[in-house]
Amino acid sequence: MLLFREVLGEVLREIRNAQARTLREVSKDAKVSLGYLSEIERGQKEASSELLAAICEALDVPQANVLMLVSERFAEAEGLPAAFPDVVPSHLAEDVYSAL
């Protein structure tokens, strides 16, 4: 069973890597400890809603886009109709990554 925190962690890490930023930089901007951010990225800790907002702000990515990417991965894993993930991810991925 796919867990939200695991998929969220993956997505947050990919966005940070796409920005070529370190855990240290983002943790400082998001005002969270480096160790905690690392655990969130590895899907080992749940991020509170306030922390999710702070991390997205530190990454300068709308929460909507992060959640869309997470939703897309769930759609793939849950075997939703191809039309569902096909419409969303490329669109979303463009939105997120083109701005980096």
CB of 70 to its own copies, least distance (A): 6
Q: According to the binding rule CB under 8 A, does residue 88 interact with its own copies?
A: yes
Backbone angles phi, psi at 18, to 5 degrees: -65, -25
Query: How far from the centroid of its chain's Cα atoms is residue 37's Cα?
Result: 12
Least Å distance, CB 89 to its own copies, is 11
Dist CA 24 CA 35 (whole Å): 9
Q: Would you tell me which residues interact with its own copies (CB under 8 A)?
A: 1-6, 46, 48-50, 52-53, 62-65, 67-68, 70-72, 74-75, 77-78, 80, 84, 87-88, 91, 95
